[in-house]
Amino acid sequence: MIYRNFLYIITIAGLINNNCFSQLPVTIPSGPVVNVNFGKGAANPGPPLSVGYTSYNYAKNICPAPGFYSVVNYEKCFDTSHVDAGHIFFGPHPLDGDSGYMMLANIQAAQASTILFADTVKNLCSNNAYLFWAAILNLSKSTCFYPNLTFTAQTMTGQVIQNFHTGGIGSNNDQGAPFFGYNGIDLKAPFPFFYGGIFTLPAGVTDVIIKILADPSMANPDCTATLAIDNILLNAVGPDITISNPLSPGAWILGSCFQSNQPVNINGDINSGYYNFGSGEFVNSTLTNPAVQWQQSVDDGYSWTDIPGETNLNLSHIFSVPDTFFLRLRASENYNINNPNCSVISNVMQVQVDGLPTNYNITSNSPVCTDSDIVFNISGGASYFISGPNGYSDNTSYPHIYHPVLADSGWYHVKIISFGGCSVDDSTFVKVYGPDIKVKSSLDSICYGKGTQLQASGGATYLWSPPDGLSNANISNPTASPNTTTTYKIKVTDNTGCGAFGAVTVTLRDSILKAAIAGPVIVCPNDAALFKDTSIGKVSKWFWSFGNGETSNMRNPAALHYVTQHTSTVYPVELIVTDSATCTDTAFVLIKAVNNCYIAVPSAFTPNQDGLNDYLYPLNAYKATNLLFRIYNRFGKLVFETKDWTKKWDGTLANIPQATGTYIWILEYTDDDNKRVFIKGTSVLLR
């Protein structure tokens, strides 16, 4: 058996849209002909079978002796778990839970057969196929005896219609099969194994005797085996009948509300055959003139009654009384529909007709600070919808508001909805304390390398993150100059210690933009100055100003000449670049236009600090590279050396003025034609 609180758990599982299991129907092994499931109850052992059903003696012992049987709701004789066959099956597999009573029979190896179960069944339909089957497990661990059972169907005169053999139950030749109605892929399903077979009633035969016999054995008479037996069934066999929810074909549970006046809709389908018991092979089978009858069970599927007037293949029925029950469909040839013993049975669906939710509740952790979370706890329904101030809504049972603001204070209203759609309303008040924070930026978007001022208010202290690109992360109004689009978050804390959170995004209008110029630094007379754009970024426009009145909009402008003056002149060259986001950047260089680029060394100099010819150095070496200039006195001693032509000899050595006289100089450099030049000469120091 199975309790309703467990059914609620599997209700959830049945509603999951799982492709692997969505097409497996839920069934209860209870046919309209014979259905021995031993019932359910708390007492252990349970009540015995009626007289005449077995040749074994009933024992009020949960572990029966040889030749005895007991009815128990759990098994403790062999240190196994609750091993009965189950009451509700998902595909070929029983659902776990309390499945009620089962029969424990202790069979002794004997030379004569014994009757485990027998029953006389009347008012069947001749020429119909029937399945006689039961779930059996050998609990014994002994290998000296594996019981062989025979399922037999006989006429009232004892003529055998058909026999079915189990093989040695628990041995290598065990002939157990999975739950009826599934193909070969499930033949390796775990316990419970079912035994028996399908037989067809001869013409004119409507009454039969069915038996489960323990066959004679040549094993040692001291050998015994205890069998767990459950769900002894006889039911008609024919085309598979399936029912499903049209709105959710893979689910086996649907709900309704007693006050909604909306019908429960279930579709029925009569298939073209069935999967044979044991082999899993598909057997073609049809109904020539089918008739159907919907049935209802209010006791977890142990007993079924016809629903008056519901004889259409598809059900649309209004249930106005709160309850939970099962529905199924039986079908047969039209002329046999009034005899349930001739009907094939569909899978089952559970219907939950709900009343108004009861014992519902909504609470919160109010009051809260703005740097905490508002947490609601709602119970009493299958689903929920909550709404409140500041446009809030949620449809979960544990809704949260992270980092609430003052505007989140107020009444929150919740609709508590049952599985079937019945609903009630409730509410709770929430109070939020903390700073009234306001956050903004002076500019929504900036160009690369530019800045915008962030502004926050409402608190006593401020903390921005990330600090990258901020002038100060601990003030209310830092300047932000990020290198990428950045969302700056801020925590504002008031004098009470409550904090509030805000954020502002500074959008970078484009990637990096950096203007740069490649060009000469010195321009000699008759030189052609050539400037190139070496900027970084998605540049789309250029504007050049060369300092001499000329401009250009080309990326790399044509060469230009600077007019040579009597003295050197410095010209500012400017490049303004604009990128695809209309951002701009500017680069400046200074070039010097000189009136003479001829390199020469003076023949005399007068280091008297009068500002006239005070130094000795190579003149006009603007374009010389790898320069080396050395000066020696008349004794060959090096008195001055430099690699920078602008470094000049002032006529001293170690700050001591050198004597008047002739000095030898040597000059080496590479000219602008990449030729190495080596010259030497003399100069006179005059004082």
Q: What is the mean pLDDT of residues 89-100?
A: 78
The tokens describing 533, both together, are 């754009």
Q: Which run of H or of E encompasses 504?
A: strand 499-508
Comparing 653 with 183, the larger pLDDT belongs to 653
One-letter-per-residue 3-state SS of 213-280: EECCCCCCCCCEEEEEEEEEEEEEECCCEEEEECCECCCCEEEEECCCCCCEEEEEEECCEEECCCCC
Comparing 69 with 5, the larger pLDDT belongs to 69
- Residue 184: the pLDDT is 58
Q: What is the mean pLDDT of residues 537-566?
A: 92
561 and 636 together in one domain = no
Whether the CB-CB separation of 373 and 392 falls below 8 Å is answered with no
Q: What is the DSSP letter of 515?
A: -
Domain end: 327, 351, 375, which one? 351
- Residue 662 backbone phi and psi in degrees, to 5: -95, 135
Whether the CB-CB separation of 629 and 667 falls below 8 Å is answered with yes
Q: Provide the residue type at 264 as one letter.
A: V
Across 431-475, the runs of DSSP E, i.e. the strands, are: 432-433, 438-441, 445-446, 452-457, 461-465
pLDDT in tens, 329-373: 999 999 999 999 999 999 999 999 999 999 999 999 999 999 899
Sign of CA dihedral 313, 314, 317, 323: positive
**Is pLDDT at 430 greater than 60 in this prediction?**
yes
Residues paired with residue 630 on neighbouring β-strands, in sequence order:
641, 666
Whether the CB-CB separation of 114 and 56 falls below 8 Å is answered with yes
The tokens describing 412, both together, are 């929150």
CA distance 665 to 453: 62
633 and 680 together in one domain = yes
Q: Which run of H or of E encompasses 301?
A: none
The tokens describing 508, both together, are 């970078």
The band of 259, judged by pLDDT with boundaries at 50, 70 and 90, is: confident
With respect to residue 268, please indicate whether it lies within any of the assigned structural domains: yes
Whether the CB-CB separation of 146 and 169 falls below 8 Å is answered with yes
Q: What is the mean pLDDT of residues 631-635?
A: 94
With respect to residue 88, please indicate whether it lies within any of the assigned structural domains: no
Comparing 162 with 509, the larger pLDDT belongs to 162
CA distance 433 to 495: 12
The tokens describing 316, both together, are 């649309």
310 and 245 together in one domain = yes
The tokens describing 607, both together, are 């280091």
With respect to residue 14, please indicate whether it lies within any of the assigned structural domains: no
With respect to residue 21, please indicate whether it lies within any of the assigned structural domains: no
* Closest to 561 (Cα-Cα) out of 539, 536, 531: 531
Q: What is the mean pLDDT of residues 297-323?
A: 92
Q: How far is CA 108 from the centre of its chain?
A: 56
Comparing 22 with 273, the larger pLDDT belongs to 273
Q: What is the mean pLDDT of residues 409-435?
A: 94
Query: ω into residue 572 within 30 of 0, thus cis?
Result: no
The tokens describing 304, both together, are 């079924």
Q: Provide the residue type at 537 as one letter.
A: G
401 and 478 together in one domain = no
Whether the CB-CB separation of 486 and 468 falls below 8 Å is answered with yes
The tokens describing 182, both together, are 């599934």
69 and 176 together in one domain = yes
Whether the CB-CB separation of 279 and 186 falls below 8 Å is answered with no
562 and 660 together in one domain = no
Q: What is the CATH number of the domain that holds 485?
A: 2.60.40.10
Name the percent of the chain lying above pLDDT 70: 94
With respect to residue 15, please indicate whether it lies within any of the assigned structural domains: no
CA distance 501 to 567: 65
The band of 670, judged by pLDDT with boundaries at 50, 70 and 90, is: very high
249 and 301 together in one domain = yes
Q: Provide the residue type at 430 as one letter.
A: V
Q: Which residues contact 299 (CB under 8 A, 6 or more apart)?
A: none
**Is pLDDT at 3 greater than 70 in this prediction?**
no
- Residue 82: the pLDDT is 64
Q: Of all residues in the chain, what percent are helix, strand and coil, respectively (each to 5)?
A: 5, 45, 50
Domain range for 552: 517-593
Whether the CB-CB separation of 322 and 259 falls below 8 Å is answered with no
The tokens describing 470, both together, are 């901020």
CA distance 349 to 627: 100
Q: What is the DSSP letter of 406?
A: G
Q: What angle do CA 409, 414, 415 make, to 5 degrees?
A: 165
Q: Which residues contact 261 (CB under 8 A, 6 or more apart)?
A: 318, 320
Beta strands 676-685; 604-605: pairing state: parallel
The band of 142, judged by pLDDT with boundaries at 50, 70 and 90, is: confident
With respect to residue 139, please indicate whether it lies within any of the assigned structural domains: yes
Buried b vs exposed e over 484-508: b needs ≥16 C-beta within 10 Å?
A: eebebebbbbbeeebbbbbebebeb
124 and 184 together in one domain = yes
Put residue 615 in one of left, alpha, beta given phi > 0 → left and psi -120 to 50 → alpha: beta
Report the range of poorest mean pLDDT among 92-96, 308-312, 518-522, 524-528.
Answer: 92-96
* Closest to 36 (Cα-Cα) out of 160, 165, 135, 148: 135
> What integer best gives the mean pLDDT of the chain?
90
pLDDT in tens, 31-64: 779 999 888 888 889 999 999 999 999 999 889 9
- Residue 22: the pLDDT is 43
Whether the CB-CB separation of 634 and 663 falls below 8 Å is answered with yes
Tokens 């050396």 found at: 641
Beta strands 432-433; 638-642: pairing state: unpaired
Q: What is the CATH number of the domain that holds 613?
A: 2.60.40
Q: What angle do CA 115, 118, 120 make, to 5 degrees?
A: 155
The tokens describing 348, both together, are 């089952």
193 and 254 together in one domain = no
For the chain, the farthest-separated pair of C-alpha atoms sits apart, in whole angstroms, at 157
216 and 69 together in one domain = yes
Q: Provide the residue type at 406 as one letter.
A: L
Radius of gyration of the chain (CA): 50
pLDDT in tens, 109-122: 998 999 999 999 99
The band of 4, judged by pLDDT with boundaries at 50, 70 and 90, is: very low
With respect to residue 20, please indicate whether it lies within any of the assigned structural domains: no
Domain end: 483, 508, 533, which one? 508
CA distance 386 to 363: 12
Residues paired with residue 327 on neighbouring β-strands, in sequence order:
296, 349
pLDDT in tens, 473-523: 999 999 999 988 999 999 999 988 899 889 999 998 888 899 999 999 999
Number of domains in the chain: 6
CA distance 424 to 414: 8
Q: What is the CATH number of the domain that holds 183?
A: 2.60.120
CA separation (Å) from 49 to 81, 132, 252, 372, 633? 24, 18, 33, 65, 137
How many CA within 13 A on the CB side of residue 428?
Answer: 18
pLDDT in tens, 583-616: 999 999 999 999 889 999 999 999 999 989 999 9
- Residue 186: the pLDDT is 52
Whether the CB-CB separation of 381 and 357 falls below 8 Å is answered with yes
169 and 41 together in one domain = yes
Give the DSSP per-residue string, 577-616: EEETTS-EEEEEEEEEE-S----B--SEE--SSSSSS--B
With respect to residue 94, please indicate whether it lies within any of the assigned structural domains: no
* Closest to 252 (Cα-Cα) out of 14, 86, 21: 14
- Residue 6 backbone phi and psi in degrees, to 5: -70, -35
106 and 196 together in one domain = yes
Domain end: 593, 621, 637, which one? 593
